[in-house]
Amino acid sequence: MKRSDLTLPEIGFIAATRGMLGAGAGLLLAGRLGEHRRKVIGGTLLALGALTTLPLVAGVLSRRH
């Protein structure tokens, strides 16, 4: 089993990016907002969540023991 040490701020940042990714996906699939607004907000949150996840994954994988 491989081990990765994470600080509390890193765990919080990981949780926030997961939340943005989920909120963006939820907005893209929901029908409560107008279509244009929903797509813009949902797409932005989804992209932001995905883009901020990539450096986190790279950092965690590079520090594995």
Within 10 A of 48 (CB to CB), how many other CB atoms are there?
15
Tell me whether residue 33 is in a domain: yes
Tell me whether residue 42 is in a domain: yes
Tell me whether residue 3 is in a domain: no
Q: Determine the Cα–Cα distance for residues 55 and 53; give it in Å rounded to an integer.
A: 6
**pTM exceeds 0.75, yes or no:** no
Tell me whether residue 36 is in a domain: yes
Q: Determine the Cα–Cα distance for residues 18 and 50; give it in Å rounded to an integer.
A: 8
Domain count along the chain: 1
Look up the domain containing 48 and give its range. Answer: 28-54
Mutual angle of helices 8-29 and 35-62, in 10-degree steps:
150
Block means of pLDDT (10 residues each) for the chain, 65 residues, are: 78 84 80 80 82 80 72
Tell me whether residue 20 is in a domain: no
Tokens of 36: 């244009």
